[in-house]
Chains A and B, each alone.
Chain A
């Protein structure tokens, strides 16, 4: 098991905010010293550009940047490091995938989504569908947010070869259901469609093996996995990635060009990284991946599962709390207190030093499924403890409208 009290010592945020109970890890996570010093080391000791300088330091930093790519490739078990593109985050990656595939779509093609998706895995598809006169269709979900294979099959049968893309979160940011991606991928591929996976809420919390899962494209963010903000990853199977159209053009992404407008692009993945990349971010993300791997992704997943179970059990003892996703295994709990608007509950918990997030969590069409627009969300990471949960549950017991108004007096 994890020694969480030792782990907490790695995080300056816990040193600064000793009484803070941070349960908003789906939004972003704290950074360990190892990540912060990787950033500082770049800025303080090696602050030069990559792939341009004729001096040794530039060469060394270029190597470090490519090593960072390799660490990410290993972390998700990509076949080769050229399948890894550094982006600014999951949103950026998903946009690059959607617009990058646009030229391969034709009028009448179908893109399959579902109602639990984050805005970042919906809005880019809406726009691409509008531009290419494609159709968006939604796979039905169970109450837990599961994409059932028979429902997926029903849609694939309904639209047949018109389905070109299926895009879904491995773990949804509201209900936290972990989809059976291996089986989903097999079915999607049987119908010759591409499977795009939003890994923003999965990659930070469990082992990801893109080969085993047979994912075509994967998107995730560094900041949700102890890494810096402004860095993320787009993974694509090499042939598919190579055929993706880059969205941005400029320095670093071209090999040569002439005044006639002839451009020879760099090879994949460099052709997707026009401009000076987020070098510090990439080095910081590599440090985060090392940090997580040292703890062990399986250990993290198992520990969070145990915490989630504990949290659900404790919350279920409270008559005033309704949980929307008691059965999902990831560390996300969506709940409301009777008669209390989610934001009022969030503010009350804030006065008890507990950070949760209230709202529709960017999944604005989910209310069709769970029958409410607004929920509070408590989301765990490996540095949370049962003591955090006890304090949270005690505060939840006090959630009623009077207490929520009292905080203003």
Chain B
């Protein structure tokens, strides 16, 4: 892990950038995509994540919805990070991400930009924002 990615100023910028310019932020009308709509009463975020998984490879991830900084940025980062990965690789990354949320040991190298979310547990009620998109993706991967 480059130390640059540990600089709070850079992590802050990362979140801001993914919030203002979310990646893969458009849903497609395509039957080959699986889709999950995530909305809950306790969290006001309301997002939909789509994924196209073929031969054990995540070919594409897209999302859209009404969401806060943390859920938008975390889902945007997730979409870039997991795209192109095999299911096994993705599962490993996700496990580490959820460990980070739970304040358990995790491998920073695997998480790349997602470590921008390393401090979300300091606002414990926001963990659900940082995991909403990831949980949607996990459901789709677990189904495979």
Contacts and interface: CB of A to CB of B under 8 A. Distances in A.
Interface of A: 341-344, 347, 350-351, 358-360, 362, 373-374, 401-402, 404-409
Contact of B69 (A351, A360, A362, A405): A405
Contacts of A409: 8, 11-12, 119
Given A401-B19, A405-B12, A405-B16, A344 B69 contact: yes
Contacts of B126: 343, 347
Interface of B: 8, 11-12, 15-16, 19, 41, 43-46, 66-70, 117, 119-120, 122-123, 125-126, 129
The 6 closest A-B pairs by CB, nearest first: A409-B8, A359-B44, A341-B68, A343-B68, A408-B119, A344-B68
A343 B123 contact: no
Contact of A405 (B15, B66, B122): B15
Contact of A342 (B12, B44, B70): B44
A95 to B, nearest CB: 17
B95 to A, nearest CB: 22
Contacts of B70: 344, 408
A377 B68 CA distance: 16
B11 A402 contact: no
A359 B68 CA distance: 11
Contacts of A360: 44
Given A341-B69, A401-B19, 13 more contacts: A341-B68, A342-B44, A350-B123, A351-B123, A401-B69, A402-B12, A405-B12, A405-B15, A405-B69, A407-B122, A408-B117, A408-B122, A409-B12
Most buried by B among A347, A407, A408, A409: A408
Contacts of A344: 68-70
B16 A343 contact: no
B12 A358 contact: no
Contact of A373 (B8, B66, B125): B66
Nearest to A119: B41
B44 A343 contact: yes
A341 B67 contact: yes
A344 B129 CA distance: 10
B105 to A, nearest CB: 20
Nearest to B7: A409
10 contacts: A343-B68, A359-B44, A360-B44, A373-B46, A374-B66, A401-B16, A405-B15, A405-B69, A408-B70, A408-B117
A345 to B, nearest CB: 9
A290 B104 CA distance: 50
B68 to A, nearest CB: 4
Contact of B125 (A347, A374, A401, A408): A347
Given A342-B44, A401-B16, A408 B67 contact: no
A290 B122 CA distance: 41
A156 B117 CA distance: 54
Contacts of A362: 41
A373 B11 CA distance: 29
Nearest to B129: A343
B77 to A, nearest CB: 14
B143 to A, nearest CB: 29
A374 B66 CA distance: 9
Contacts of A405: 12, 15-16, 19, 69
A131 B130 CA distance: 40
Contacts of B117: 408
Nearest to B72: A341
A233 B119 CA distance: 44
Contacts of A407: 122-123
Contacts of B66: 373-374
Contact of A404 (B45, B69, B120, B125): B69
